[in-house]
Amino acid sequence: MTTVVDLLFAAEDDGRPQYERFADAVARAIDDGRLSGGAKLPTVRKLASEASVSATTIMSMYARLSEHGYTTGEAGRGTFVNTPANERSAALQGPGRRGDSAHRRSHPWRRRALAESEARLRDRFPQAVDLMRGSPAARLLPLDIVRRSWGAAAKGYRTQDLEYPLSLAIDPTLADLVGERFAADGIASDREALVAVNSAQQCITLVAQVLVRSGEIVEGVAVERPLVAIEEPGYQTAMDTIERAGCNLHGLAVDERGVTPDALRAAVAAGVRLVVFTPRALSPTGATWSAERRAELSNILADARDVWVLEDDYFAELAEARPGSISGDSRLRDRVVHVRSFSKSIGPDLRTAVAYVGAAVRGAFLEERSYADGWTSVFAQRTLAAILADAKLPATLQVAADQYRGNRAAAIERMAAQVGTSSLATEGTEGLHLWVKLPAGARSDAVVEASAKRGVLVADGEPFFLVPGRRNFIRVNVGAAEPSRLGEISDAILRAIDESMGRGNLLFSP
C-alpha cells in the first residue's frame, strides 16, 4: 500500500522547489488511484517529521494540492482527497471524451501556477529568453503614435473632464471609430450598445458576476453555481476569472476552427448559462473561426434562448481572418457581449477596451460596472480614439501582424524539418503562440525545465486545461521572439524534449 511518505521519498529532484515536487507526486498518486477519494492525509506535523522536512514545506504542498482541486482541508478533521480516482481519470481524458465535462472547483490556480513558474525560472536563468507569457513584442508596439495621441488628448482636456462623469456613456469619438471596426465584422454599432471597459478581463469578470447574481436566489432558495462553457485548451486567465466569480466550468473541445459544433451541442444539453468564445487566435492553439463555423455555432445557440454568449476578440487588430461575430445573427444579438481589447496591438498599459453589450444583458452589466470601478477614464478613451484615427496606424499594425505570422510559420517549419514531421506542432492560423504537442513519454514539466537550462523559457501546457494533469503540451510565445533567433529557439526546445525523455539526440539532428 502506497503511503504519502513513500511518495515524498520517491519524488525526483528536478530542480524545482521541494513543495512543488511533493505536490506533483501526491497528485499523480491521486490521478492513478494509489490514493483514493475520501482518503485522509497525515497532519502537517506528522508528515514533516516522517519525511524529515520542514512543516512549511508540507503546508505549502497541501496548499498547492488544495488550489489545484486535489484536496480539501476541514477544520478540526484534517485534509482529505477530493475526487474519486476513476472520476478524475475520466476528466484527464480531455474534452469530448466523457459525458459530463463540467468542472467544479472553487480555487482558481492556473495563472498563479504560470506566474510562480516564470518567477522561479527567471531567477534561476536570468539570461534566458522569456517566451512564457502572452505579451506582444514590445518592439512592434506603436510607441510614436501613442505619444502623439496622448499629447492630442491632453490638449483637448478640460477642467470638467477631471470630474466624476455624469454617465457611463462611451466617448462619442471612440464610439464612432470602434463602431466602424465592429460594423466591418458584422457587429451592431449603435452607440448605446457600446461600453468602454478597462480590459477584456474586466468585461469577462462583469459578465460572470451578472450571471452569478442573476441566479443566486430563485423563489427564496439558493441555486447551484451557474455553468459556463469555455474552450479547452483555452485562455487560462478567463478560466480563473470565471471560477473566481462563482461559476463552474464546462470544457469545449476545439479544432483548428475553434469550438466544434458537437462540443457546443453537448454544452447546451448540460445546461450551460454562458458560452465564452475566442473568434480569432485562441490562446494557446491559434484556432480561428471560419465564417462557416461561426454560422454553425450560431444555429446551435439560436434555439438555446437562455444561453448568453461572450466573445473575447483580443487579436482583432492584428488578425488576417475576418470570421464575423455571433452578434451579427439577429436571433442572438440581444444576448451577446463582444469585447475588443487593444493590449496586443497597441499596448497592455493603455487599459482601454470596448464592448458591444446586447440589450438583454446591458442593464445588469452597467449596474454591475457602476459598483466596480465605475467608469473608464475619459482621457484614456480619447487617447485610444486618437490612436485609432492616426493615419500611420494601419501600416504599423500590418508590420506587426506580418511578423507574428512569419514567426509562427518559421518556428513550425524549423521544428518539422528537424524531426521529419509536423506532428510536434499543433498549427493554428493566428496569434502569438505555438502550441506544441509532446511525443509519448515526454512530460511538459520536464521539458519546461530542460528548455530553461538551454536558454528558453516556455509555458507548461497544464494550466490551459480545466483539470490539472495534462502534461503533454507546452506553449511558446514565438511572436515575441526576435526573428533572427527562431532557429536556435526551436532547436533548444527540440533538444529539451529529447533530454526530458532521456533520448539524447534521437529527435534532433544538428
User: Which DSSP string corresponds to 342-397?
Assistant: -TTTT-GGG--EEEEE-HHHHHHHHHHHHTTT----HHHHHHHHHHHH-TTHHHHH
Mean pLDDT of 249-257: 95
Nearest to 224 by CA among 277, 273, 268: 273
CATH 2.60.40.10 fits 143-389, yes or no: no
Which uninterrupted H or E stretch holds 171? none
Residue 425: pLDDT band with limits 50, 70, 90: low
CATH 1.10.10.10 fits 4-92, yes or no: yes
- pLDDT of amino acid 439: 87
Check whether 423 has a pLDDT greater than 80.
no
Worst-scoring range by mean pLDDT, 40-54, 77-91, 304-318, 396-410? 77-91
Radius of gyration of the chain from Cα atoms? 24
Mean pLDDT of 119-138: 94
Higher pLDDT, 154 or 84: 154
Instruction: Give per-residue pLDDT as tens, 360-393.
Output: 999 999 999 999 888 999 999 999 999 999 999 9
Which uninterrupted H or E stretch holds 271? none
The position carrying cell 530553461 is 452
CB-based contacts of 36, cutoff 8 Å, min separation 6: 81, 84, 85
**pLDDT averaged over every residue in the chain:** 87
Check whether 220 has a pLDDT greater than 80.
no
- pLDDT of amino acid 320: 93
Residue 400: pLDDT band with limits 50, 70, 90: very high
| Residue % of the chain over a pLDDT of 90 | 63
336 contacts 207 by C-beta, under 8 angstroms = no
Higher pLDDT, 414 or 75: 414
Nearest to 500 by CA among 453, 435, 436: 453
Worst-scoring range by mean pLDDT, 114-118, 316-320, 341-345? 114-118
Check whether 84 has a pLDDT greater than 70.
no
**E-assigned strand segments in 90-134:** 102-103, 129-130
Instruction: Give per-residue pLDDT as tens, 467-501.
Output: 887 889 999 999 999 999 999 999 999 999 988 87
Residue 427: pLDDT band with limits 50, 70, 90: low
Check whether 94 has a pLDDT greater than 80.
no
Which uninterrupted H or E stretch holds 472? none
In angstroms, the first-to-last Cα distance of the chain is: 46
- pLDDT of amino acid 209: 95
Higher pLDDT, 83 or 256: 256
Measured at the CA of 98, the angle between CA 93 and CA 103, to 5 degrees, comes to 80
Residue 456: pLDDT band with limits 50, 70, 90: very high
Nearest to 24 by CA among 500, 468, 448, 502: 468
Residue 39: pLDDT band with limits 50, 70, 90: confident
Burial class, 335, CB count within 10 angstroms (exposed 0-12 / middle 13-18 / buried 19+): buried
What is 111-140+394-500's CATH number?
3.90.1150.10
Q: Give residue limits of the domains in the chain.
A: 4-92, 111-140+394-500, 143-389
**181 Rama sector, left if φ>0, alpha if ψ -120 to 50, beta otherwise:** alpha
- pLDDT of amino acid 189: 74
Compute the Cα dihedral for 396, 397, 399, 404 and give only its sign. Answer: positive
User: For the chain, what is the largest distance between any 2 Cα atoms, rounded to a whole number of angstroms?
Assistant: 74
489 contacts 415 by C-beta, under 8 angstroms = no
Residue 426: pLDDT band with limits 50, 70, 90: low
- pLDDT of amino acid 24: 86
Q: Parallel, antiparallel, or unpaired: how do β-strands 456-457 and 129-130 relate?
A: parallel
**Residue 73 forms beta bridges with which residues?**
79
Nearest to 148 by CA among 313, 386, 362: 386
- pLDDT of amino acid 90: 41
Residue 100: pLDDT band with limits 50, 70, 90: very low
Nearest to 108 by CA among 78, 165, 67: 67
Check whether 275 has a pLDDT greater than 70.
yes
Check whether 143 has a pLDDT greater than 50.
yes
| Residue % of the chain over a pLDDT of 70 | 89
Instruction: Give per-residue pLDDT as tens, 279-302.
Output: 999 999 999 999 999 999 999 999
- pLDDT of amino acid 419: 64
Mean pLDDT of 185-212: 93
Check whether 442 has a pLDDT greater than 50.
yes
CB-based contacts of 118, cutoff 8 Å, min separation 6: 130, 132, 133, 457, 459
